[in-house]
Structure 1
Amino acid sequence: MALAADPVASLIDTIYIGRIGPVEIAAVGISIALFNQVSKVAIFPLVSITTSFVAEEETIEKINTKVIEAEEMKSGYIDKVSTKGEALEIVVGNSDDGLKEKGDQKESATPEDDPKTSSCEPTDITDHQNTNAPNVKIPKRNIPSASTALLFGLALGVLETLFFALLAKPLLSLSGVKPGSPMLKPAYHYLALRSLGAPAVLFSLAIQGVFRGFKDTKTPLYATVAGDVVNVILDPLLIFTCNLGVSGAAIAHVLSQYLISLIMLVKLIQQVNLLPLSIKSLQFSRFLRSGSLLLFRVIAATIPVTLAASLATRLGATTMAAFQICLQVWLTSSLLSDGLAVAGQAIIASSFAEKNYEKATAAATRVLQMGFVLGLGVTLLIGLGLQFGSGVFTKDINVKHIITMGVPFVAGTQTINSIAFIFDGVNFGAHDFAYSAYSMVEIPVLSILVSVASIGSLFGLNIVAGFVGIWFALSIFMGLRAITGVWRMGTGTGPWSFLRK
């Protein structure tokens, strides 16, 4: 639900902007595609490795804590037995001093020393339980990867803002919005304003990665819903009441993202000590090493979607408006299954840290089963909803006609998309603990091959079939992504090599 909340807000943005006209919705569509392309390249590797690293560190911390507690209980038991033994030696002495000492022992004995009232074992357990009582303040967790992730997220967000401030117009031109196009002005205004929220977007996603590692998905959900409710309230006020148009939609989205970041940061500070003990404790090299490997995969996975939006833009404002509506529905529904992927990733990462391969296999199997069922359900929902409900997004007859041409692809690929996304989470959860270059590199290489094949089909099918050709190529792309995901676990290679045993 947390992962779907932001796309749902974007979907509502699309509904409001669709009321302005097809040119504006087409302009916003290409701007969102560019913004998402850069944001995903910047943050997706960071979020993925953060979830796994935090899950690993928390699991190891819990194991170490249990070991220390067990040793302390054992040490306390031995000390008490030793003390009682010494007292016994004195008591059984033959001298009067021994008898006197016995009396002294009785006078100074505490309740726990009296075998009639207590024994050393229950006392130790009671003391240990008291330390976990509700009135005892639980210390903050020291998770170095959390601090590292937040620093990376903030830095990448600032860089993204500067990137769009300098290159917004050239990027729009490269995407098919040429000088003189009616889409240029609204597209540029939306992209320039939306980029101001990049630090908040990337920072909040980094925090989400930390909470996912803790297996806490409620906090990100509450924060995201709160921010998106503000976005939905501000949209009509800024777009129509203040007459800001697409700029109002961008401003509403930016404000909501900063609110989401603030809420999650406050909650995280209450649980984690974000000030590192030293610079050396920050895991910059580990993040850069794993993140760079995932970067190739992310680039390969996002280029086809951005290219598809660019090709749709070249077909005209009406076609691009229909494509934007279909794409937002496609992404929003697909990300429902991505929530299962995140849950699977966190559980699998912890299981690998515990070397509990049976639990990892069970978690992977369960989320795949759930994803398959979810994909079938969403296929029916989208197929019926978009076929008869396109009027919610636009009143333009031509745009609605083109949308109906995309419905079979948007709805029909949902099960494939679900499997592809979930295998991403399954493989990411396993890769970060395998410490194998082969297992970390193979998927990016396969993804690049998939991307090349998809790009080729996009150009070819776009020329032959236009709008339908673009969606057919995107369907091929998601099918190939699903195959590469199945290949890792299905062949029992890399971190899944234990399955062959």
Structure 2
Amino acid sequence: MTTPAPAHSPAGLRRITALAIPALVVLAAEPLYILVDTAVVGHLGRIPLAALALGGGVMSVAGWIGVVLAYGTTGRVARRFGAGQRAEAVAEGVQGSWLAVLGGAVMIAVVQLFAGPLTRALAGGGAEGAEIAAAAESWLRIAVFGAPFLLLAMAGQGWMRGVQDTRRPMYIVLAASIGSAILAPILVYPVGLGLIGSAIANVVAQAVSGTLFIRALAVEGVSLRPRWNVVRRQLSLSRDLVIRGGAFQLCFISAAAVAARFGAAALAAHQIGLQLWFFAALALDAVAIAAQALIGAELGGGDIARAKDTARRIGWIGLGYGVFFAVLVGIGAPFLPGLFSPDPEVADQAAVLWPWFIGLLPVAGVVFALDGVFIGAGDVAFMRNMTVLAALVGFLPLIWLTYAFDAGLGGIWAGLSAFIVVRLLALLWRLRSGTWAIAGAER
């Protein structure tokens, strides 16, 4: 195995960039497709767009589980890879894929049982709320069949990142997303399926992507049989990431529920802002992906000093990425909301959250980059505790105060800001402590 250049040398920066750029394409492809989908549905009217916001919020649970699979798999695979154990590293990806299949099957069953009550609870009362809930339920019952494939794709990305291969995931995800971005408007408009066409296009994208990642595993020549002892170890690691992700989901679902209480225009504008935020967040996560692969490999190879040097470098690169995205979003502020909805009330509501969105991006760049450092190091218990704390003392109190005092979207996005700032302070403290850097093929 070729030993990477030290992180403090010019080659270290080149290596980070070489891993981050293909990861950026992968991370951006899915939210770009969702943004296209949001724009397509947004031109059907505010009710379908609000329904997509609620249904998409529920489906984001699958995305959360997928991130847990990808991040948990990357850290374990990277340590094996750094220790020179490639076959064992890929075998971790096989077991992560079995977890994906099981998790997707459970999600299908739960959504088919509870889609109606769930969407009605989130949409609120009144005739408009009932209309939004019914449309969201129809979308959700179809879209959930893509969940197993989505999780397979995330597990596949995880093990490939762990062996420092970010190019193949780029080609796979791009192929699926571009095809479905073409399919969605065709199904929604000329075919005339409306919102249901959006759900079908989602399932097609995820099925293509998941199948291609399974094929990539098969050509590695490792056994595809489940090894339940490895699955149990992955579940143990995933437990902390699940709790961490659960804190995120509770925050974002609460935000959507509160936005729904302010009317369809507010919920539609929140959907636009949130999807743009997710796009920026996932794009910024490209640095975090590089961090997971490099930090895991460096600690797996026993080089603690190099890992700490890489971590500091990655934090600064994350800040630079965040500033860059803030400038881009600021330039696009006058016209971006109009791309997603022609409704003037939606545009007025979007203008409320826009300054929060722009101001958060540089801070988020550092936060997401350091998330990757600590996940790559396997420091997931700290990540769990820090995220739960940020949710309990930052996001959720402001969200529910917003509801109580009728503060609108500004209050919701102030809660998101508090959530990010609390995480930033905790991550910087942990980075300085150095206690996260533990060497070895396993942690």
Using the size of structure 1 for normalisation, the TM-score is: 0.78
1:10-409 alignment, distance < 5 Å = 10-36=34-60, 38-62=61-85, 143-178=90-125, 180=127, 181-276=130-225, 279=227, 282-409=229-356
Residue of structure 2 in register with 1:119 after alignment: none
Kept in 2, the 8 Å contact 1:144–1:283? The answer is no
Kept in 2, the 8 Å contact 1:319–1:402? The answer is yes
Kept in 1, the 8 Å contact 2:63–2:151? The answer is no
Residues 137-190 of structure 1: CA distance to partner in whole angstroms, max 9, x if unpaired? xxx777331221110011101111111111111211221344742212211111
Kept in 2, the 8 Å contact 1:219–1:264? The answer is no
| Partners of 1:272 and 1:481 in 2: CA distance | 41
3-state SS of paired residue (1:387): coil
Kept in 2, the 8 Å contact 1:54–1:210? The answer is yes
Residue of structure 1 in register with 2:401 after alignment: 460
3-state SS of paired residue (2:222): coil
How far does residue 442 in structure 1 lie from its aligned partner after superposition? 3.1
| Partners of 2:94 and 2:132 in 1: CA distance | 41
Which has the larger displacement, 147-156 or 379-388? 379-388
Kept in 1, the 8 Å contact 2:29–2:173? The answer is yes
| Partners of 1:221 and 1:55 in 2: CA distance | 19
How far does residue 496 in structure 1 lie from its aligned partner after superposition? 6.7
Match for 1:459: what amino acid? Answer: W
| Partners of 2:235 and 2:185 in 1: CA distance | 42
| Partners of 2:254 and 2:227 in 1: CA distance | 41
How far does residue 39 in structure 1 lie from its aligned partner after superposition? 1.4
How far does residue 377 in structure 1 lie from its aligned partner after superposition? 1.0
| Partners of 2:307 and 2:38 in 1: CA distance | 39
Which has the larger displacement, 402-411 or 140-149? 140-149
How far does residue 57 in structure 1 lie from its aligned partner after superposition? 1.9
Instruction: Give 4+ residue runs of structure 1 displaced > 4 Å after superposition.
Output: 177-180
Distance 1:41 1:391, change over 3 A: closer
2:363 corresponds to 1:416? yes
Matched pairs, number: 411
Residue of structure 1 in register with 2:389 after alignment: 449
Which has the larger displacement, 364-373 or 155-164? 364-373
How far does residue 426 in structure 1 lie from its aligned partner after superposition? 0.4
Match for 1:14: what amino acid? Answer: T
How far does residue 475 in structure 1 lie from its aligned partner after superposition? 1.1
Kept in 1, the 8 Å contact 2:374–2:436? The answer is no
Distance 1:231 1:179, change over 3 A: farther
Identity of matched residues, %: 27
| Partners of 2:267 and 2:380 in 1: CA distance | 37
| Partners of 1:356 and 1:235 in 2: CA distance | 48
Gaps of 5+ in 1: 64-139, 432-438
Residue of structure 1 in register with 2:418 after alignment: 476
Residues 275-294 of structure 1: CA distance to partner in whole angstroms, max 9, x if unpaired? 35x846x5022112111122
| Partners of 1:450 and 1:320 in 2: CA distance | 24
3-state SS of paired residue (2:305): helix
Kept in 1, the 8 Å contact 2:123–2:132? The answer is no
| Partners of 1:9 and 1:279 in 2: CA distance | 35
Gaps of 5+ in 2: 1-24
Match for 2:415: what amino acid? Answer: A
Using the size of structure 2 for normalisation, the TM-score is: 0.88
Distance 1:272 1:59, change over 3 A: farther
| Partners of 1:171 and 1:421 in 2: CA distance | 30
| Partners of 2:197 and 2:297 in 1: CA distance | 43
Match for 2:181: what amino acid? Answer: V
| Partners of 1:487 and 1:213 in 2: CA distance | 26
Residues 305-340 of structure 1: CA distance to partner in whole angstroms, max 9, x if unpaired? 221111111111111011100111111012111111
Kept in 2, the 8 Å contact 1:173–1:179? The answer is no
